[in-house]
Amino acid sequence: MKQIFVIIIVLFGIQSAISQTVTEPVPVIAIEDSKPIEERTEVFTLAEQMPEYPEGKELLYAYINNTLKLPKKVKENAISAKVFTKFIVTEKGAITDIYILKGIKDCKECDEEAVRVIKTITKFNPAKMGGKPVKCYYNLPIKFESK
């Protein structure tokens, strides 16, 4: 019995040693090599402080629901689905470059309505990095549901 137990432990130890691999270290960019925040032109995906609708998320969704005009196709076919959008919030809080990440199948009107509604949103509080406003992506799902 002791021999079987010892054999199992040895085999397990050999398997663990074989399965470990050596990987190359990932190069790290030193902070001093980076440009200051105000000189960067890229659009951030994540920021220390993400963009926010000034009145909060709940009022943003309330605004969207009040502004959204359901396309005829949604009403007639009892569609309940979301259009997933993405846009850039600039350093000044303006919305630009609206993208449809995933639309509603066979409802191009829904995609167009989602873009129209986003264009009516006046302003966001911009994202911040190091206390400075930066461009940042913002994802916003818009729900279409016949009532």
pLDDT, tens digit, for every residue of 9-28?
655 555 554 444 444 554 44
Regions in the chain scoring below 50 on pLDDT: 17-23, 26-33
Predicted confidence at residue 20, as pLDDT, reads 47
Predicted confidence at residue 15, as pLDDT, reads 54
34 occurs within a structural domain? no
pTM over 0.75: no
Could you tell me the CATH number of the domain that includes residue 73?
3.30.2420.10
105 occurs within a structural domain? yes
Give the chain's domain count: 1
Predicted confidence at residue 6, as pLDDT, reads 53
Predicted confidence at residue 130, as pLDDT, reads 92
CA-CA distance, 103 to 86, in Å (whole number)? 11
Q: Which amino acid belongs to residue 8? A: I
116 occurs within a structural domain? yes
Please tell me the number of Cα atoms within 13 Å of 87 on its side-chain side.
25
109 occurs within a structural domain? yes
Residue 51 sits in which domain range? Answer: 43-145
> What is the secondary structure of 80-139 as a DSSP string?
EEEEEEEEEE-TTS-EEEEEEEE--TT-HHHHHHHHHHHHH----BPEEETTEEE-EEEE
